[in-house]
Amino acid sequence: MAATGSAQAGLVSQGFQPLPAGQTVGSPVEFTSIPFVQIDGAFDGTEALADRSFTADWLLPAALVDGLEIDLEAEALFEIKHFDRNVLRLDMSISNTTIVDPGIIASILSFGFGAEPDVSASITDAGAVFDGIGDGSGPQQTFPGGFKQIDVCIFAANGCSGGNVKDGLAAGQSDSLSLSLAPLTGDFDGDDGNPHLRLLAFPIKFQGTFGSFEFVAFPDTPVPMPLPSTLALMGLGLLGGGLARRHLRRQS
């Protein structure tokens, strides 16, 4: 698993982790594992972690879904501006990289992530499209497609569940925003006295001409853990070359 930074300067790593036996997420394609991003703070316990980044790539191949005539694709860059025991500040940009023919709509209405430990979140600089947020200050949210324990949901229309496709991020468009995450209780410090935070699942919701679709992201560098269920695995095999090409885009 690739990482950025030294142990003393802090570390950002990514991979997959399996869901409990019998559980799946995603619709209509089901996944039995979810991606994670592990953020470990400065080893000396004093200097805040900053100037690290990670990416997320979303891909739902048309070959996996009856009636879906285009691949649904998106990508996001998350830049860590500050991480200590009390707060994580992120700048992020998200792009809908889906290629569509004239008259076809494939918009992103919402996306989000879970967190361990639990967090509450706020948008400190709203995007032109994504300006709404639901955070984990109450019961942890569900997200369309069977996702549970989603601490942060960022949306363009009425909420996580979607809305008018004209309010979403259309194919070929990008948006940028800034987030602030704070621990729901206590702080981010682990048993070693240093801050640690794991972000999970990264579900996304597309809506458009062919219906509604919710699926997980793929991190930069997946580690060999249980992969999505048989149906999704077929799609990964078909598109392995494309995913591998994307995964080479390691950020500094």
What letter would DSSP give residue 238? H
Please state the pTM of the whole predicted model.
0.82
Question: What CA–CA distance (Å, rounded) separates 40 from 34?
Answer: 19
Compute CA 168 distance to the chain's CA centroid, rounded to the nearest angstrom. 17
- Of 37-41, 166-170, 174-178, the one with minimum mean pLDDT is 37-41
pLDDT category of residue 158 using cuts at 50, 70 and 90: confident
Mean pLDDT of 7-18: 77
The domain segmentation of the chain, as residue ranges, is 3-242
Determine the pLDDT at residue 9.
Answer: 55
Split at pLDDT 50, 70, 90, the class of 227 is: very low
Phi, psi (deg, nearest 5) at residue 205: -120, 120
Residues sharing a CB contact under 8 Å with residue 246, sequence separation 6 or more, in sequence order = 57, 75, 218
The pLDDT confidence band at residue 134, using thresholds 50, 70 and 90, is: confident
| Residues 149, 113: Cα–Cα separation, whole Å | 9
Mean pLDDT of 14-27: 92
Phi then psi dihedrals of residue 99, to 5 deg: -100, 125
